[in-house]
Chains A and B, each alone.
Chain A
Amino acid sequence: MSISEQLLKKIESLPTLPIVVTRIMQLVENPKTAAVEISKVVSLDPALTVKILKIVNSAYYGFPKQITTITHAIMILGFEDVKNLALSVSVFDIFKGKAVKDAVAFDRTALWTHMIAVGVCTKILAKRLRLKNPEEAFICGLLHDMGKIILDQYFHEDFNKVITCVQEENLLFFNAEKKCIEVDHTEIGRIVAKKWGLPQCIVDCAAYHHIPTTPNENSLLVSLVHASDVFVRIQKIGNGGDPLVPQLQKLAWDNLRMQPTDLAKVYEELHEEVKKASAFMEFTKSA
């Protein structure tokens, strides 16, 4: 049995997304859904409710008033945002905690910070382009490296091999994966996201953020995530598994419709917004 086959088999045994989240996703798909229906479903999971309200009242949204109920959160943030929020919180929940002590030094908090920063950056770029749903861009960026977390938590030996390879040969995590373990985090991310029935844009961004030229339905979002990955690494926020900066693909740059002089402004905003998103970091800590 090859490594990739083993990987795929193991993925089958991964925990599933909570039913509450999948139900919320279904409900939001239907335009006739009332706010009360969503709030009923969310309320079934008190922990999720608390976490959503925490984020909603954090600096990340900067809402001028206290939001005390999920219904208010839905009315104020909109159905889509609450869905994405529930999704982010749940994915964080699944992966948090399993801190493993081992010989290979790797700062997992830094990886989370990297993912949150890419999420924030993607949202900033989406807002610049006036995309309709910046929160969707956020979650696409946030979950782009979910494959790395799965690798770390469920295929820890392979993860360590990659990290060693990265450190010894000064390779990009992505290239080290190819060299040492046959599959890579983009493939793992794609398979898991699909299995969980996550929105297609999240699947595509997880799968193609290293090669944004791959034809797909969400190529603009993929480009934004790709660029955000590069920008966040240039700004040295968190750690994506290696200290290197991948090359920014021309297609992705063109899609941003930006001037090089605009970058300073984006970076400034990025640092500011990452601070505001610190509430997300709390969910990555072990209970």
Chain B
Amino acid sequence: MAIQDIDSLGLDSVSDSQKVEILKKVNTDLRSSLDEFISILSKFSEAIATKFDLKVLLNHVADFLNDVVKYTAVNITIYDMVHDTFNSVLARNLSSSIDLKIKNLINDGLAKWALDQKRCVAMPDMENPSGDSTIIIIPLITQSKTIGAVFMYCDKSPESFIQQELEFVNILGAQAAIAIQNTLLYREMENKNLDLANLKNYLNDVINNMVTGVIVIESDNTVKTFNHVSENLLALKASAMIGHKFDTVLPKIFAEKIFTAITLARNEEIYRESGDYRPEIEFDYEVDGKTVPLRVSYSNLRDSAERTLGTIFMIQDMSESREITRLKEIDKIKSELVANVSHELRTPLTSIKAYAETLLDIAGTEDVDTQKEFLGIICQESERLTNLISNLLDLSRLESGDFKIDRTEANLGELIKKCAMLLKEHAGQKNISLRIELPASVEPAMVDSSKIEQVLINLISNAIKYNKPDGGEVFISLRQLQAKFEIVVRDTGIGIPKDSTEKIFEKFFRVDSSLTYQVSGTGLGLAIVKHIIDLHQGQIFVESELNVGTKFTVVLPKY
């Protein structure tokens, strides 16, 4: 319809036939437009629906936009909110001059304006004097997010665009935005999955390379983690553990400990309040006939909402640390011994030196008695020195395994009497009486007499040494049982604390190092005693009560 003089032309002045014509045209155009639209949209949706590859998707978008509006160049960009930039992800025929024009539009804020209006904007290319080119900015926006923008350069004047084209471009833009967002989300999800997998591998590596055994048991008692060290420590296979209930796959002793620990851990608060909560257990574990001391520490695993997910167990082999503790103790004992032995060696030497010097002074005088007395003392002290040194020699033989016994037929009763005789004087000096009880007739025993004598002297002199300061008694007895002899040496002395009764047979051990200088001794005696008895396939026991007395029982087999 031609537009005539507008001032005189009211709507009423359009004839009915003209109205019908206009309506007809609108109807036909609407229908064909709808057909075109549906056809393009359905093809487009089909093409992009299953594309999760960004490049493929963008190429489809570029193709379809070209179907709707023929362009000479296109640039699809993703908006970077942090840097406020539009980064190109796909460009076709983008000459540097067109790229510059697009950059200028972005700098002028037109791309942002289009995003804000949620609608495409077509700008005439002002620099083209013919006015026959247009730049179209299509915002890529979803309901919730700005994705980016498409810039199209068309060799077509702005006037020649029809409404439908711009409308189609808008709708394709919206569809493309959703598809691109899906692809980006898909990619993000893939990356996250990859990150998760990497993190899992990393954690597995960490857990497996720990020097501590790690076992995780979930709330439903399923074993979730079982690392290499746990496998080695417990001689179990992780594959046989993971995914199973712990009480069905772990060895009974271990499962019981775990069960107790889990119960404690799950009621942590209650136990913690009662002050009775130590999330640690120690026990010996038998593996391949070997006993391994284990320390198991545990604690609850919680999620971010503080819900208990399970319990984590850290298992340590304590053998090494026990060995270290023992070595440290021995080291301490050794240094004490050095101090002790040098003191013990010096005491007799000092006396010997002093008496010898005095003897030199009075040598040649008539005072023979004094000289004799002094010489006696020198002799006695030398004896003491000899004993000490032979003890030390015994010790070194013990250490080197060069300590052998030589069995001959001997009468144990006689041996006991002989030793008692030897120590009688020493006992008398300390006001201690010796009492002996022997059977009427004593069977012969096959022993190394000198070694057994050493044992008896050691035990009896200990009994004298550690007896009550005055008026104590040492009781020595021999009993002949069916297949063995039993010698008992009992004193009425200070006794031995319970926790020390086992250690007294260790070399260098002395019950209380504070006694060192009150009562002389090297701490070697009982170690040598035990060794001698062992070599005789015998046994030695000790029973003791503090401030009441100590009883040593030596059992020797008959031959």
* Interface residues of A, Cβ cutoff 8 Å to B: 16-20, 22-23, 26, 28-36, 39-41, 44-45, 62-65, 71-72, 75-76, 78-79, 130, 197
Contact = CB atoms under 8 A, between A and B. Distances in A.
Interface in B1-47: 3, 6, 9-12, 22, 25-26, 29-30, 32-33
B164 A31 contact: yes
> Chain B at the A interface: mostly helix, strand, loop or mixed?
helix
Contacts of B29: 30-32
B199 to A, nearest CB: 38
A26 B158 contact: no
B122 interface: yes
Contact of A34 (B22, B30, B161): B161
Given A31-B29, A31-B167, A40-B3, A64 B143 contact: no
A22 B167 contact: no
A71 B158 CA distance: 7
A75 B121 contact: yes
Interface in B157-190: 158-164, 166-167
A174 B12 CA distance: 33
Contact of A76 (B12, B121, B160, B164): B121
Given A64-B113, A75-B134, A33 B11 contact: no
A18 B6 contact: yes
A79 B165 CA distance: 11
Contact of B162 (A26, A33, A41, A78): A33
B119 interface: yes
Nearest to B134: A75
B442 interface: no
Contacts of B134: 75
A35 B110 CA distance: 20
A30 B25 CA distance: 8
B124 A32 contact: no
Nearest to B36: A31
A19 B11 contact: yes
A26 B22 contact: yes
A37 to B, nearest CB: 9
A7 B134 CA distance: 51
18 contacts: A16-B11, A17-B11, A19-B11, A22-B11, A26-B22, A29-B26, A30-B25, A31-B29, A31-B30, A32-B29, A32-B33, A34-B160, A35-B162, A35-B163, A44-B6, A63-B113, A76-B122, A130-B143
Contacts, number: 87
A195 B3 CA distance: 22
B123 interface: yes
Contact of B163 (A20, A45, A79): A79
Contacts of A71: 124, 158-159
A238 B3 CA distance: 39
Nearest to A72: B124
Nearest to A40: B3
A32 B160 CA distance: 11
A18 B7 CA distance: 8
Contacts of A29: 26
Given A16-B11, A26-B22, A62-B113, A33 B123 contact: no
B159 A36 contact: yes
Interface string B384-397: 00000000000000
B159 A19 contact: no
Given A28-B163, A31-B167, A33-B162, A78 B119 contact: yes
Contacts of B124: 71-72, 75
B448 to A, nearest CB: 101
A40 B6 CA distance: 12
Given A71-B158, A72-B158, 18 more contacts: A19-B6, A20-B6, A30-B26, A30-B29, A31-B30, A31-B162, A32-B33, A34-B161, A35-B161, A36-B159, A44-B6, A63-B113, A64-B110, A65-B110, A71-B159, A72-B123, A75-B166, A76-B122
A60 B249 CA distance: 76
A242 to B, nearest CB: 35
B108 interface: yes
A19 B13 CA distance: 10
A34 B6 contact: no
Contacts of B364: none
Interface in B380-437: none
